[in-house]
Chain A
Amino acid sequence: MAGAPGAVRADLEQVFRTGYPAVVSVAARVLGSRDEAEDVAQEVFLSFARSAVPAAEAPGWLAVAAAHTALNHLRSGRRRAAREEAAADGPLSAPDVADTVVSREESGRVRAALARLPRKQAVALVLRHSGLSYADVAAALGLSPGSVGTTVRRAESALREELTSHAPVR
C-alpha cells in the first residue's frame, strides 16, 4: 500500500534535486541568509517526504511551504545565533552592484516589516520576487490572477515605506 504511516515517497530524491535550489532561494528572500534558508529547506523537504502531494504539483507546494516556514522562523525568532555573529563581522563582502547592496540594518528592517505583513501579502510578495509568474502565485495562494498584483503592490508599498522612512542619506 502506498500510504503506510511513516512511508517515504519514492520520488523524493528526484523532486529534491530538482526543487532544492528554488526552495532555498524562496527561503533566503524571506530570511536574508543562505544558511538559515538551508535549514528551512530541510524542514520543507521533510514535510514533503511524508506527503502525498503529486509530483506535478510539487513546485508550487514547495514554494509556498518554503515561504510559510521561513516566515514562521522570522516571526518566532528562531533565528540562529550565527546570524548575529555574522552581523558583527563588519561590512558585506557580497556582490556589490551599488544599487542592490543593502545594509544589514536595512535588511533587518525589511525582514521585520515582512514579518508584520498579513501572511498572504508576505507570501505573494516573496513568491513573485522568487520568479513565480502571476498565474503561479495565484494558483498557489487561491487568489485570482488579477488580485495578485494588488496584493504584491500593497506589500511592496508597506515595505518601501519602511525602507525610506529610515533610509540613510547617501
Chain B
Amino acid sequence: MRLFADRHPTDGTLRRLVDEPAGVADADRAHVAGCDVCLAGLARARADADAVGAALSPAALTLAGTTGAAGTDAAWHRLSAAVAAQARPALVPAPAPARASRWRGALRSPVVAAMGVVVVLGGAGAAAAADWLQVFRTEEVAAVPVSTTDLVGLPDLTAYGDVTFVSEPDVREVADAAAAEDATGLEAPEVAELPTGVTGEPAWTVGGRAVAEFTFSADRAAQAAAAAGETLPPPPAGLDGATFRLEAGPGVAAVWSEARGVPALVVGRVTAPVAYSSGVPFETARDYLLGLPGLPDELAAQLRTFTGDGTTLPLPVPAELATVSTADVDGTEATVLATRDGTLHGVVWVEDGVVTGVAGSLSEDEVLAVARDLG
C-alpha cells in the first residue's frame, strides 16, 4: 500500500478531512500534510464549512419554542390529534368511504389474480436496500378497472426516463416444495385438499429478486409529451434526475395443469414489491407521474385515490373481462377476481409483506376454500 498519494486529493476528500478525517485514506492524509496547495485548499474548505455551519445553525437564530421533554410531549399530542383526525374515516374497514366503494364495486378478474402473481414473480423483491429510502411497501392488493385500450395506452416509463434492470429474477423450475423453499426462503404454499378435478403433483417454479431502477428525465418526458401533442406539466423540484428503485421477489408458484394445457390451479406466493426513492418524496413523484400526458384522467384519479397511503399494489384489470369483489381469508381482506363468463376465479391478498394468490378454472368457493386452507 502506498503511504503517500501522488496526486492531489479531490476537493471532496479535503472537505472530509475537515470533519471526518478518519474516513480519508492514509495516503491522502500524508499527501495533504506535505503539500502547500492541498493545505491551502483544506484551509478554504474549513473556512467555508465553518461559515456555512454558523449560518445554518439554529442556535444563531430564533429559538423561541419549547425544547426538551415538555416540547416533545406537546408535539406528540399535536401529532396524535392530527393522526386521529386523518385516520378516523380510513380505519372503518368494510363499508369503505363512498369514494373507495365507487371503484371497488366496479373491479377485477381471476385471470388477473394469476397474472398479478406472475407479474410480481417476474417483477421484483423486498430485502431492504440500506442505501435507499423506502417509500412504498405493498400491504394491500387492489385492482383498478381499466379497459384494454387503457392498458395499452398506459405510459411506458421508458418514454420518461431510463429504466435499468439491476437484477433479473432468474425464474426456473425446481423439483418440489422443499427445493422451492430452499431457493426462495419463502414458505411454499401447500394445498391441504385439492379441489375436485385437480389431481397430481404441481410443477414448482421459483424466481429470485428482481430489481429495476427508473430515473426520471424531464427532457425525455417533454419529448414524449410533445410527440403526443401535449405539453409536459412542469416537474416538481428535484424530480428531474431522481431515481426510484423497485424491488420484487423472491417468489414461488405451484401449477397444476389440465390436459387442455390451461392451468387448473395456480398457487403463488411472493415477497411484496417495494419501491425506494433516492430523495424525492414518493407522494410528489406519484402525483406528478400520474398526471403525465397519456394516462387517462379517470384512471389517474383512481390511482391517486387509492394509493393515497402508499401501501397498495394496484392490479390493472380489464374491465370488460373481469369483475372484482372482496372476501375474507383468515382475517385478511382479499381481492376476488372473476372472469365475466365465470369460468376462472382468483383471489389475492397480502399479509406481512407477502403477496399470496390462488387462481384457476374453479368456482369462487373453490379458490377461497384452497386459499383458506393453505399451509
Q: Does A pair with B? A: yes
Q: CB within 8 Å of B: which residues of A? A: 1-8, 12-13, 16-17, 20-21, 25, 28-30, 32-35, 37-38, 41-42, 45-47, 49-54, 57, 60-61, 64-65, 68-69, 71-72, 75, 86, 92, 94-95, 99-102, 104, 106-107, 110, 114, 119-120, 123, 125-126, 128-129, 133-135, 138-142, 145-157, 159-160, 163-164
Q: Is the interface of A mostly helix, strand, loop or mixed?
A: helix
Cα separation A68 to B12 with both chains bound (whole Å): 23
Residue of B nearest to A152 (CB): B15
**Partner among B11, B65, B79, B309 whose Cβ is within 8 Å of the Cβ of A42:** B79
Contact indicator A141/B279 (Cβ below 8 Å): yes
Q: CB within 8 Å of A: which residues of B? A: 10-16, 19-20, 23, 45, 47-49, 51-65, 72, 75-76, 78-80, 82-83, 86-87, 89-91, 93, 100, 128, 130-135, 137-140, 237-238, 243, 278-281, 283, 308-312, 331-333, 349-353
Contact indicator A142/B137 (Cβ below 8 Å): no
> Which of B80, B311, B350 is packed against the most chain A CB atoms within 10 Å?
B311
Contact indicator A50/B279 (Cβ below 8 Å): no
Cα separation A126 to B53 with both chains bound (whole Å): 9
Residue of A nearest to B58 (CB): A28
Cα separation A155 to B327 with both chains bound (whole Å): 54
Expressed in whole angstroms, the minimum distance between the Cβ of B268 and any Cβ of chain A is 18
Closest 9 CB pairs of A and B: A3-B139, A6-B90, A150-B12, A149-B12, A119-B238, A28-B58, A142-B278, A52-B137, A153-B15
Residue of A nearest to B100 (CB): A5
**Partner among B52, B64, B238 whose Cβ is within 8 Å of the Cβ of A156:** B52
Known: A2-B351, A99-B54, A153-B14. A53 touches B62 (CB 8 A): no
Question: Which residues of chain B have C-beta atoms less than 8 A from A119's C-beta?
Answer: 237-238, 279-280
Question: Which residues of chain A have C-beta atoms less than 8 A from B133's C-beta?
Answer: 57, 60-61, 64, 140
Contact indicator A106/B55 (Cβ below 8 Å): yes
Known: A8-B87, A47-B283. A32 touches B58 (CB 8 A): yes
**Partner among A12, A16, A75, A155 whose Cβ is within 8 Å of the Cβ of B237:** A75
Question: Which residues of chain B have C-beta atoms less than 8 A from A53's C-beta?
Answer: 134, 137
Further pairs besides A16-B72, A30-B56, A52-B311: 8, Cβ < 8 Å: A5-B100, A12-B83, A21-B72, A49-B83, A64-B133, A94-B62, A99-B54, A142-B279
Cα separation A100 to B78 with both chains bound (whole Å): 32
Contact indicator A145/B23 (Cβ below 8 Å): yes
Contact indicator B60/A100 (Cβ below 8 Å): yes
Contact indicator A150/B279 (Cβ below 8 Å): no
How many A-B pairs fall under 8 Å by CB? Answer: 243
Contact indicator A6/B54 (Cβ below 8 Å): no
Contact indicator B64/A153 (Cβ below 8 Å): no
Contact indicator A1/B79 (Cβ below 8 Å): no
Contact indicator B79/A100 (Cβ below 8 Å): no
Contact indicator B279/A100 (Cβ below 8 Å): no
Contact indicator B238/A138 (Cβ below 8 Å): no
Contact indicator B309/A20 (Cβ below 8 Å): no
Cα separation A163 to B83 with both chains bound (whole Å): 40
Expressed in whole angstroms, the minimum distance between the Cβ of A56 and any Cβ of chain B is 8
Question: Which residues of chain A have C-beta atoms less than 8 A from B53's C-beta?
Answer: 129
Contact indicator B56/A46 (Cβ below 8 Å): no
Question: Which residues of chain A have C-beta atoms less than 8 A from B238's C-beta?
Answer: 68, 119-120
Cα separation A154 to B15 with both chains bound (whole Å): 10
Cα separation A93 to B30 with both chains bound (whole Å): 44
Expressed in whole angstroms, the minimum distance between the Cβ of B37 and any Cβ of chain A is 16
Contact indicator B351/A1 (Cβ below 8 Å): yes
Cα separation A42 to B79 with both chains bound (whole Å): 6
Contact indicator B281/A47 (Cβ below 8 Å): yes
Known: A46-B79, A61-B134. A34 touches B86 (CB 8 A): no
**Partner among B10, B308, B310, B352 whose Cβ is within 8 Å of the Cβ of A2:** B352
